[in-house]
Amino acid sequence: MKKINQKKLGLILLWSSVFALSSLIVFLVISFYSTTLVTKTWRYIVIALIVLVSIIFGYAIYLLNNNRHVLQFKRWIMILFTSGISLYVVGCSSFLFILYGPYTGFKEWLITTAMATMHHQHYCKWFYSDEMISSVMDNNYIKEFDEDTDSSLVDFNTTDHGDSIFDKDIINHNEGDLYKVIKFQVNGCNAYLAAVYDAKKISLAVTKWLGKSGQYIYDMAKENNAPLAINGGGFIDPNHNSKGAMPRGVTIQNKKIITDSSSGGPIIGFNDDGVLMLSQNRGAQAALDAGYKDAVSMGPLLIVNGKAAFIKGNGGWGYAARTAIGQRADGIVLFLVVDSNEFRLKGATMVDLTEIMQQYGAINAANLDGGTSSVMVVNGEMINDPIDSAGRHQTRGIPTAWIIKE
C-alpha cells in the first residue's frame, strides 16, 4: 500500500472513530440514567463497540504519526471534515450536559411537560429513569384545595373594582359591551384574556354528537349564536387519538346531568346567579344540590376564595398551551387562553396561570383543558393559534365549551 493511501486511510479512520466514539458515549451515558432507550443488553454492546472504535482510533493515530511527510487531502476537504466532526463532538457534549448537567431547568421542563400531557411521556422516559422522573415530579406539584368556593365573596353590585393597571384594563370598556379581549405575551407566546361583564350570560355547550364525536368550538359557538367561547373540561381520550366524544368526570348542562364519574378532577361551573363555583368531585347529584347550573370536570384549582394554591416548582404540569377560567370579586368572569409555540415547547405553567389570574383580580380560578384543545373563538373565528401533535395549526373536536349567549 502506498504511503499516500495510508495517510488518507489514517484520516478517514480518525474522523470516523471520533464520530462513532461521540455517538457511542452519548448512548452509554443515557444507558446509566434510563433503561428505555438503551437497555442493559445494548449497554454491553455499546461498551464493546467503544473498545473496538478506540482501537481503530489508536490505529489511525499510528498511521498518521508514521506518515507525517506525505501529502494530505485537499485543504478544503480537511477543513470541511474537521469542522464537521468538531461541531458534532461539541453537540454531543452539549446534549449530555443539558440532559444530565448541574443545570436542572431543562430536565424539569422536559419531565413535567411530557408527563403532564400524557401524549409524549416517552420523550422523558427515553432519557430518565422512573426514580429520576418521580424525584422531579415530587419537586414540582400543586396542592389541591380542601375547601369549596364561598359565593358570598362575589358582589355583582360593588363599586370597588380596584385601581391597578390590570383592574383598569378590565373596567375600561364601552357601555353595553358583553366582553372585552386583552392580548399580551406569556413566555414569548400570545395570550388572550376575555373579561365577561355579565356572568349570567355564560352557559355550557355540549357536542351534539355526544358519545360519537366532539365538535370544533367555532361550530358550537355559531350554532349557539355565541359571540365568545372557550373550550371546557377534559374528555376521555384512549390512545390519545379519540374524537373528543365523551367528557370526563361530571358534566352538567342547564341542571341536566350529562356525565357522572368520580374521575376527571374537580368540578368547575356556575350557579343561577352567575357565580363561578369550584369544588372537589363528589358526584353530579351533589353538585346539583350545591347549586351548580352548568359544570365540567378538570383542574387543578388555582385560586379559591382569594387564596392561591400552593405550587412547588412549576406545578408539575410543565409548559403547554393553556385555558383557564376565573372570576373577580365584582363578578366579572375571566376567560384566559395561552398559545404554545410552533414546536409545542412553550406556553404557560400553572404558576403563570395563577399569577395572571391574580393580577387581573380573580378570587376564584381553575385550569381547563389545554394543548390542542385551547381555543378562544370571537364572533365565530378562532383568534388564537392552536397546534396539534403533528405540528399543524389547527384545533380538534371537543365535547364541551363555555360560551356567552346574547
Domain C-terminal end among 103, 119, 154? 103
| Cα–Cα dist 158/138, whole Å | 42
Q: List pLDDT tens digits, range 150-169.
A: 999 999 999 999 999 999 99
Angle at 108 between CA 102 and CA 110, to 5 degrees: 115
Q: What is the mean pLDDT of residues 256-271?
A: 95
| Cα–Cα dist 92/215, whole Å | 45
DSSP notation for 300-364:
-EEEETTEEPPEETT-SS-SB-EEEEEEETTS-EEEEEE---TTS---B-HHHHHHHHHHTTEEE
Is residue 272 a contact partner of residue 281, using CB atoms and an 8 Å limit? no
Residues 315 and 391 in one domain: yes
Range of the structural domain that residue 381 is part of: 143-404
Worst-scoring range by mean pLDDT, 74-83, 232-241, 249-258? 74-83
Q: Where are the beta strands (DSSP E) in 254-300?
A: 256-259, 267-270, 276-279, 294-297
pLDDT computed for residue 254 by the predictor: 97
Of all residues in the chain, what percent carry a pLDDT higher than 90? 71
pLDDT category at 171 given cuts 50, 70, 90 is very high
Q: Is residue 134 part of a domain?
A: no
Strand partners, 209: none
Residue 197 has pLDDT above 90, yes or no: yes
Contacts of 267 (CB under 8 A, 6+ apart): 249, 250, 277, 278, 279, 280, 281, 282, 287, 292, 295, 296, 297
The residue to which cell 393597571 is assigned: 165
Residues 99 and 195 in one domain: no
The residue to which cell 455499546 is assigned: 46
Q: Which of 16-25, 27-36, 250-259, 380-389 has the highest mean pLDDT?
A: 250-259
Supply 300's cell numbers.
Answer: 387543578
pLDDT computed for residue 368 by the predictor: 98
Task: Name the residue among 74, 90, 80 with its Cα closest to residue 19.
Answer: 90
Strand partners, 333: 196, 327
pLDDT computed for residue 406 by the predictor: 80
Residues 212 and 263 in one domain: yes
Q: List pLDDT tens digits, range 321-375.
A: 999 999 999 999 999 999 999 888 899 999 999 999 999 999 999 999 999 999 9
Q: What is the chain's alpha carbon radius of gyration, rounded to the nearest angstrom?
A: 28
- Count structural domains, the chain: 2
In this structure, how many other beta carbons lie within 10 angstroms of the beta carbon of residue 50?
A: 16
Q: Is residue 122 part of a domain?
A: no
Q: Is residue 109 part of a domain?
A: no
Strand partners, 398: 215
Domain C-terminal end among 72, 103, 134? 103
Q: Is residue 318 part of a domain?
A: yes
In this structure, how many other beta carbons lie within 10 angstroms of the beta carbon of residue 222?
A: 15
Is residue 71 a contact partner of residue 4, using CB atoms and an 8 Å limit? yes
Task: Name the residue among 405, 400, 156, 148 with its Cα closest to residue 274.
Answer: 156
Distances (CA, A) of 47 to 29, 169, 401: 11, 62, 54
Whole-prediction pTM? 0.86
Question: Average model confidence (pLDDT) for the chain?
Answer: 91
pLDDT category at 118 given cuts 50, 70, 90 is low
How many C-alpha atoms does 337 have within 13 Å on its Cβ side?
Answer: 24
Q: What is the mean pLDDT of residues 381-393?
A: 91
Task: Name the residue among 148, 160, 167, 137 with its Cα closest to residue 315.
Answer: 137
Strand partners, 404: 202
Residues 83 and 164 in one domain: no
Q: Is residue 119 part of a domain?
A: no
Supply 126's cell numbers.
Answer: 427515553
pLDDT computed for residue 71 by the predictor: 47
Residue 69 has pLDDT above 70, yes or no: no
Residue 179 has pLDDT above 90, yes or no: yes
| 304: phi then psi, degrees, rounded to nearest 5 | -135, 125
DSSP notation for 122-156:
HHHHTTS-HHHHHHHHHTSEEPPPSS---GGG--T
Q: What is the mean pLDDT of residues 254-259?
A: 98
Domain C-terminal end among 73, 103, 133? 103
